[in-house]
Amino acid sequence: MEDPLSRRALITGITGQDGSYLAEHLLELGYEVWGLVRGQANPHVSRLRKHIGDVQITTGDLLDQGSLISAVERVRPDEVYNLGAISYVPMSWQQAELTAEVTGMGVLRMLEAIRVVSGISPSRTPGDGQIRFYQASSSEMFGMVRETPQNEKTPFHPRSPYGVAKSYGHYITQNYRESYGMFAVSGILFNHESPRRGAEFVTRKVSLGAARIKLGLATELRLGNLDARRDWGYAGDYARAMRMMLAQDSPEDYVIGTGQTQSVRELVEFAFRTAGLDWQDHVVLDAKYTRPAEVDLLCADPKKAREQLGWEPEVTFEGLVTMMVESDLRLLSGSARPEDEPFSPDHW
């Protein structure tokens, strides 16, 4: 690949947690970074720029094929990172059709935009300077897992409309790679969190809950299934892996995770301990927070990423939870700036 100093990247979902960390990372490498948003008046753009700095914006919508073609024509990127999605799993049951259109069909529309702008067809394959495409796949595709830990060859059995939509996006990316010779890869990322995570996600809900109770702003935290186990890592580490995948000589899919799991109960216990609290005095189980179809255990086997990409996570689970609780204590105590609020969950 060319030196990063001469490269231009287009990121969908740039106002979300992952988009912000990826933009930050690419800018540090000298990239020219563009973000795709649905309108210039998007209130989260100004917050993004306060966090990240020199990001350029173009308009487009994963529901609108024509707008994506126009965006790719305007930006002429070397790399496209498709992070845009309706990414909150419980919401996918409430808005199943929209989730399918954005999280699933949106991937097809972006691939088509790249294909059309690049002039790729069954009779005309891309050259060396083609646009490289990254699709944000998800461990939720494994769902009712067939084996543990999960690797690139583990079969999918998604247990939510979100997981089903992500599976479609994963397979259509693979299909365009095999049908048109496009440099298109999927990163099957396991749960990755940070202080920028939306408040509706369980990790941020727990860190905010512990901080509120510590500061006397609440007395209890209501949660659902405490026995579900996840492979949790730091979003900034996972953003590095995205770029590494597009820097390879050939396109391949990779599982990204820590290879370790903790239960929601362990998450809660450590977060409350970090805040100087006993979680059993404050946590209340509430059935309304239980999924219609639960995913009990997700654990990554990141061997391929470790051996081929040289990627390793740098932040431990304990370091991540500590980072999030301390950040929320600062935020709620008034010592943080207004722009330190988390990024928008609605980032497609």
Active-site positions read: 167
Distance CA 129, CA 64 (A): 26
- Spacing of C-alpha 272 from chain mean position: 25
User: φ, ψ for residue 338 (rounded to 5)?
Assistant: -55, -35
Q: Report the distance separating Cα 204 and Cα 324, nearest Å.
A: 7
Q: Are 14 and 37 in contact (CB under 8 A)?
A: yes
Q: Are 78 and 243 in contact (CB under 8 A)?
A: no
Cα–Cα dist 49/51, whole Å: 5
How far apart (Å, rounded) are the C-alpha atoms in residues 255 and 176? Answer: 19
Asked whether 217 and 282 are in contact (CB, 8 A), the reply is no
Place of tokens 């509706």: 200
Joined tokens for residue 241: 């892996």
Q: Do 39 and 59 contact (CB within 8 A), yes or no?
A: yes
Beta bridge partners of 10: 34, 80
CA pair distance 1, 51, nearest whole angstrom: 28
Please give the single-letter amino acid code of residue 325: V
In the chain, the amino acid numbered 58 is: T
Measure the CA angle with vertex 342, ends 337 and 346; round to 5°.
Answer: 140
H/E element holding 56? strand 56-59
CA-to-CA distance for 305 and 114, rounded, in angstroms?
Answer: 26
Give strand pairing partners of 234.
193
3-state secondary structure of 7: coil
